[in-house]
Chain A
């Protein structure tokens, strides 16, 4: 099929304002990924087209873009998502994610995003010495299950830049940083939940979330983002232990996955 691309272009050295540019590609397959087609445009038509990608397999989180109106990883989305397999033509619109400064074309400055990430202290903090046997710090499968979901985050910024509260105010810490904080707050080996909840309990912390639910479907890793944010708010209001007990009760209700 034929693919008609509409891409948001911006070169700070030449352009006063971003603009849309169209490209047409022939012989596109329904199973092509959008990132491959962006490569074809770059290699065959316009070498100046600029975008990030690294792994091209949904692992590194480099290529978050707004594609046909929603935040997606270009390397994880197939042409099939936007047209029937026997369609003659597919229209694909690509623009940078919103809320971070655009550096060039589809590339945004991720530094504000990462500074929010660093603010929640995304590393293990404990005064316990490492186990004497030199091996890992252990925890039960149940202790792990409580925060398993939020370990999957690849920091692509799809969720944070889908959030109207973040669009309104980029000092809002944002869904991704809250997800990353959740991963440590509910980890039985970590002892700095209070410190993290201080950051998330600040005016620009979790309180700016209005439970809009744009972030949850935006996550390419299917993390239950809004749920994690909700649990963090409850942890601030009612204590980490309250939420932990609630989660343990919920886990008991859902049968454990088959090994």
Chain B
């Protein structure tokens, strides 16, 4: 963890060029999106497992904190997507590197160009919903329903992973793979390198399309504002069309594997104790599989009684 502090302070001190800032933003945006995605998949799955809780979750999504978070999320995904494409282009044509700084500028510019009209559209939903009156920030329900259960859950999961790894280390004597250079190709890293790029390209239409429809054109405030006023009905109406379920399953699996593998990169960068590293990576792996399964069951199961 010490090198995380070093990296943060030295990125500020080292006069790197634009690429350094692109990397910082890409990483932060990717992790931010993953954090949201984890919460989002779990509570959307309640539409199947616990419909009443789902209605409650949508109401929490409509509180001011989440409204602000939604703007940040959209900015993160748009920037990460554009910059991801930039990375992929230079990965496959390294000889074009001379244009990379220009490309990084274009990515920043394109992000702003896309975000300005997007934010205007989103702001219209916000204004419509909140009206002109004073806004109650409603921090308590967010802390109670999101920060404590999800934040607490993540901390517990991570600690449990590390503890388990320590126990396994004590019992089997295998403390995890230490630092020194190995000279054996890693199939995992090689496959994941390609996967990050292919899934990234597939996620450009999938993730941006999903955001455009659900967060910009319709908006979260529309989810329980029509027909019976039930969020589950909204989801059911959408899932009647099998194409949307396939779309959602693809988005779910690709984004989660991509995001959790990105998290693995970050874990491997900043943790050096082999036991801790192994524990965190296991937790990430188990969480990834579990969340995909939970999400897939509710996508296949659909809204009960519909």
Contact = CB atoms under 8 A, between A and B. Distances in A.
A164 B13 contact: no
A173 B180 CA distance: 10
Interface string B14-49: 111101101100010000000000000000000000
Contacts of B189: 201-203, 205, 207
B13 A198 contact: no
A241 to B, nearest CB: 16
Contact of A70 (B3, B15, B27, B272): B15
A61 B219 CA distance: 58
Interface in A202-259: 202-205, 207-208, 210-214, 216-217, 224, 226-231, 233-234, 236-237, 246-247, 250
B191 to A, nearest CB: 9
A121 B14 CA distance: 31
Nearest to B183: A199
Interface string B166-204: 000000000001011111111011100110000000000
Contacts of A246: 93, 95
Contact of B15 (A68, A195, A202): A68
A101 interface: no
B268 interface: yes
Interface string B260-285: 00000100111010000000000000
A229 B97 CA distance: 11
B299 to A, nearest CB: 32
A65 interface: no
Nearest to B19: A213
A169 B274 CA distance: 13
Contacts of A205: 181, 186, 189
A66 interface: yes
A169 B269 contact: yes
A236 B194 CA distance: 11
A232 to B, nearest CB: 9
Contact of B17 (A217, A233, A237): A217
Nearest to B16: A214
B218 interface: no
Given A171-B179, A214-B19, A202 B95 contact: no
B177 to A, nearest CB: 8
A60 interface: no
Interface residues of A, number: 48
Nearest to A69: B15
Given A207-B193, A224-B97, A164 B11 contact: yes
Contact of A167 (B10, B17, B194, B272): B10
A150 interface: no
Interface stretch (B67-75, B84-92, B152-160, B222-230): B84-92
A203 B300 CA distance: 37
A167 B181 contact: no
A230 B3 contact: no
A202 B183 contact: yes
A135 B14 CA distance: 48
B270 A210 contact: no
A132 interface: no
A135 to B, nearest CB: 33
A259 to B, nearest CB: 24
A211 B90 contact: yes
Interface of A: 66, 68-70, 98, 115-116, 119, 162, 164-165, 167-169, 171, 173, 195, 197-199, 201-205, 207-208, 210-214, 216-217, 224, 226-231, 233-234, 236-237, 246-247, 250
26 contacts: A69-B13, A119-B181, A162-B14, A167-B10, A169-B270, A199-B183, A201-B186, A202-B185, A202-B189, A203-B177, A207-B190, A207-B193, A210-B27, A211-B90, A211-B100, A212-B16, A213-B20, A213-B101, A224-B97, A227-B95, A228-B94, A230-B91, A230-B94, A234-B91, A236-B185, A236-B190
